[in-house]
Amino acid sequence: MIANATALLDAIGEPTRRTIVERLVDRPSAVSDLAKDLPITRSAVSQHLQILKTVGLVTDKAVGTRRIYTVDPEALAIIRAYFDAFWTRSLAAFADAAEQPEDT
């Protein structure tokens, strides 16, 4: 189950989790591969992945003795829709303000 946009944004609001998601967008990875370049332990990476998995931002599958994590494109679509709606409202408000006659 994928959480709502607020839960997804809260999850990637933490810098390490955001870095993990950015790396998983580039390519699916195992915990050990993700932990190589991060200044935290494999256990900490696993904890971050569990949070990302709980909100539905990442999924995992067993490949041999490892679990490979990937970003769920549906979750990214929810985040994108959130920002698209934000910009649509903002641009509409700007257009309304720009079309108002000047007070002289």
Please check the confidence at residue 25 and state whether its pLDDT lies above 90: yes
Count structural domains, the chain. 1
> For 60-98, how does the pLDDT look when each residue is reduced to its tens digit (9 = 90+)?
999 999 999 999 999 999 999 998 987 777 777 777 788
Q: Is residue 104 part of a domain?
A: no
Quote the percentage of the chain above a pLDDT of 70.
96
Q: Indicate which CATH number applies to the domain containing 43.
A: 1.10.10.10
- CA 81 from chain centre, in angstroms, equals 12
Residue 38 lies in a domain: yes
40-50 per-position pLDDT tens digit: 999 999 999 99
pTM of the predicted structure, to 2 decimals:
0.82
**Over pLDDT 90: what percentage of the chain?**
74
- For 71, the domain range is 5-99
**Contact by Cβ (8 Å): 52, 60:** no
Helices (H), 13-72: 15-26, 31-36, 42-54
Query: Does residue 24 belong to any structural domain of this protein?
Result: yes
Residue 25: inside a domain, yes or no?
A: yes
Within-domain flag for 76:
yes
Give me the pLDDT at residue 24, please. Answer: 98
Q: Is residue 62 part of a domain?
A: yes
71 domain residue, yes or no = yes
- Residue 48: inside a domain, yes or no? yes
Q: What is the pLDDT of residue 32?
A: 96
pLDDT band at 104 (very low <50, low <70, confident <90, very high): low
Task: Specify the pLDDT at position 62.
Answer: 96
